[in-house]
Amino acid sequence: SLVELELASNNNAKASPTKNPSNKKLITSNSTRVNQVAVLKFVSEHLPELRKMIDYLEKNKPEQYEQAIREFSRDQTRLAAIQKRDADMYRIELELWQLEGKLRMLAAEIAALKKEKDQASAEKQLEILVTKQQKKSLEKVRLQRDRAAAQLARFENLVKQREESVETLTARSLKLWKSRIEKQKPRKASSKSKNIKKTDSK
């Protein structure tokens, strides 16, 4: 991916920053401009390792920097929506996002390594992160399963209640509908009003 390629480039880059050969100004949409500060704050808070990569892209690859900002903005928006409605799921999703980011960075670093000794050590770390990711994914599925089971239990209880009181509920509903029908019928004229009408006709 773009992030992985740029991380690899960053590892192989010289100490002095390279100039953008196209010398084009970064064209940023209003929505991206508004979200930029929030995105950088979000990344710095939850995955500071990624901030170095973002700073590198900003100096050397403006167009790819903008793409990265948009990508992280989508992640931030998705996680913020989850946080509002579900604190437990947000915690899991945030940790999965952090692990995914660490894996992407580590994979780029391993691809750039030349010494087998360094690769072996990095691949051990890769195994640790992948294991954590899979365990966290399992935790997510278990949470979803438990909630689904609880919801199913509520429905089962509701079905049982309905089955036991179907006759009572039917009678109550029928009475209600008959009452509504009576209210919709045109009202009969009173005897007093009938006498008035007869007098007027004479």
Alpha-carbon span 36 to 196, nearest angstrom: 81
Q: What is the maximal distance between C-alpha atoms in the chain?
A: 119
Q: What is the pTM of this model?
A: 0.69
C-alpha dihedral (157, 158, 162, 165), degrees to nearest 10? 60
Distance CA 110, CA 117 (A): 11
How high is the pLDDT of residue 74?
93
Tokens of 195: 């006498």
* Each residue's pLDDT tens digit, 114-173: 888 888 889 999 999 999 999 999 999 999 999 999 999 999 999 999 998 999 999 999
pLDDT digits (tens, 9 = 90+) for 94-108: 999 999 999 999 998
